[in-house]
Amino acid sequence: MSKIRILPDQLANQIAAGEVVERPASVVKELLENSLDAGASRIEVEIEGGGTRLIRIIDNGEGMDEDDVLLSLERHGTSKIHTDKDLTAIGTLGFRGEAIPSIGSVSKMTIISRRADAELGTRAEIQFGKLQKVHEAGCSVGTIFEIKNLFGNTPARKKFLRTVRTELNHIDEVIKNYALANPEITFSLTVNGKRTIYLDNTLSLEERLSQLIHYNGRYICIGDEHATTPERRVYGFLIPPEKLHTGPARLRLFVNGRAIKDRMMTHGVAEGLRGFLMKGKNPAGLIHLILPPSEIDVNVHPAKHEVRFGNSRDIHYLISQAVASAMNNEQRRLQTAMFGHNKPTATTVPVEREQPVENPFSPVPDIQDRKTKNAAPRPTPMFPPSPQMEDRQFSSSEPFIPEPPHDLPAEPPHPGNDIGLFETCEPVPQTERPVAAVSKPQEPAQPASLLPKAPVGHGLQIVGQFSDLYIFCRNSEGLLVIDQHAAHERLLYEELRQQYLGNNVARQTLLFPETVELTLFQVQLVEKHQEEIDHMGFSLREFGGNSFIISAIPALAGQANPTELLNDVLEQFGSESNRRDSGDRIDTILSTMACKAAVKAGTTLSHREIDSLLNRMARANLFSHCPHGRPVVKQFNQNDLKKWFHRT
């Protein structure tokens, strides 16, 4: 006697239900997809008892006649595919024909449906997989599904359900996903007689998102949701990185209107936000991906939560570029809001071609090394700089102009600073440390009182500096607070990155080459990554054993300790987390260099230095976040201030 047997239809349906119907939310999802495929413009969902007592879904779609109602109860009965060729270009949400018989096998199910061309509809009652009644019934155009006593004949399955609240949260999530995938359709959810969600089709996608995730702030807009071309496109809305909280965040992903979970798409969004997301924070919002149906395979998961892309690499690039482009547009918007003008088109010229501007923050090739042992007799400048200026970066293209001497009047306090909250930079007596040579002859300094208060470029009124870290400015919107270290770090990072990508990282030759002792592991890293290390602006050569000589370092990191800088670079090359993605590793190294080179917290800045920093921000392509994702600037408008003091 044969051991292999053909399973009865009822048992086969129960097995299929184990894959398709995991919990009440699975039933809601499958039936919602049928309603959407039927062309419904209004869908109502009613839930009782967490979904096990009652699930009722009412739509105004095209409906079914009696024959279609009965055929829908058969396994693999579907109107959505006819041949094997249809599987290569599925344009509907459902297609297998397993959902309705699977749901009917584990519940008491009633179907009521009528087509627009029929006077009466059809009512069918199914009890745990067995058809009980079929007869005509008066009803509206569309379809009503009633699911009662879910898992009533499989108590073991019912036992594994979570609490009522948890199951309702899963149902709520399904409704939200399909409401965001179809903003042109009205959705409502009623739980135990109380309406909890109502989304009219007059709401825009952005308004729906705000209502569903309870966020009323501004979004980063990705692409154009109303565009019909090209055939491969991305659109959506992301919460600005500075508004995100540490921990898991909710990023909703859709492919051709289908809600999915996909790590590659999530990574593509994060890649587009590189340099804007702080560690531990994740993107939040929604992303719609539109592709030709022939380029995706949706038949890879029983519940259709996952899809397979024909070319994942291209999709990843498409998403990351769309997000990166949106962030660039956001930078232009912020520049207009902060500085009151659009960034000139000339800023698209590479950094090395920009005209020299006053900037005391970037280094020059002959800048003094931090270590006293590298010091050598040098020309003494006309006016002694402050200790803070010795530790700061200067640029050969943007020469340092010294502070006024003691006998010139100090810069007068700005209006409103008479209480001494913000300090101005006063000249500091010469220290014992050697002074760096300047790159061009000194000129008599202009009295600070004659310096322009609002130089052309940033257009801000400088209020002052607080805690030697935060710069306070005023614009037409209100009060701006800028983190000087984060702002300078981003500017240096972008310049370093541009030099690296252009294979022209400027080097600073050390007056006294520095000898460094490396571990055996570090020596192996140097041998393995010698070309990349040289490409970053280091000049490194062996000196016997584990000793190496550093004769040059990147000019933009000229004030960093050469040994510490090299050790940081080697640490990144040896980091386990950076071995897979060389792009991430290089960005991490460059951001570390920029961080060490940037003006530090606790450094007093003069009015002139603040002007220079603001001018560079006004011209920069990216400036709103440091390379590690920390925000650079915070705007407080008049309404914010009024709320603080209860003046609204």
Which fold does the domain 352-372+386-403+421-431+452-648 belong to in CATH? Ribosomal Protein S8; Chain: A, domain 1 (3.30.1370)
Which fold does the domain 215-339 belong to in CATH? Ribosomal Protein S5; domain 2 (3.30.230)
Predicted pLDDT at 299: 76
Instruction: Give me the sign of the Cα torsion angle 20, 26, 30, 31.
Output: positive
Instruction: Mark the ranges of the chain whose per-residue pLDDT is less than 50.
Output: 343-456
Q: Return the structure tokens found at 29.
A: 């999802």
Predicted pLDDT at 4: 77
Q: Which of 184, 218, 214 is nearest to 199 (CA)?
A: 184
Q: Which of 418, 357, 385, 407 is nearest to 616 (CA)?
A: 357
Predicted pLDDT at 14: 64
Predicted pLDDT at 566: 94
Predicted pLDDT at 85: 64
Q: Return the structure tokens found at 305.
A: 């939560």
Predicted pLDDT at 602: 93
pTM: 0.77
CB 354 within 8 A of CB 646: no
Predicted pLDDT at 279: 86
Instruction: Give me the sign of the Cα torsion angle 587, 593, 596, 597.
Output: negative
In the chain, where does the domain assigned CATH 3.30.565.10 lie? 9-199
Predicted pLDDT at 384: 34
Q: What is the CA radius of gyration of the chain?
A: 33
Q: Please give the C-alpha separations between residue 162 and each of 50, 51, 155, 166, in angstroms, as whole numbers.
A: 10, 12, 14, 6
CB 63 within 8 A of CB 121: yes
Exposure class string for 82-118: b at 16+ Cβ within 10 A, else e:
eeeeeeeebebbbbbbbbbbbbbbbbbbbbbbbbeeb
In the chain, where does the domain assigned CATH 3.30.230.10 lie? 215-339
Cα–Cα distance for residue pair 180/250, rounded to 1 Å: 13
Q: 9-199: what CATH class?
A: alpha beta
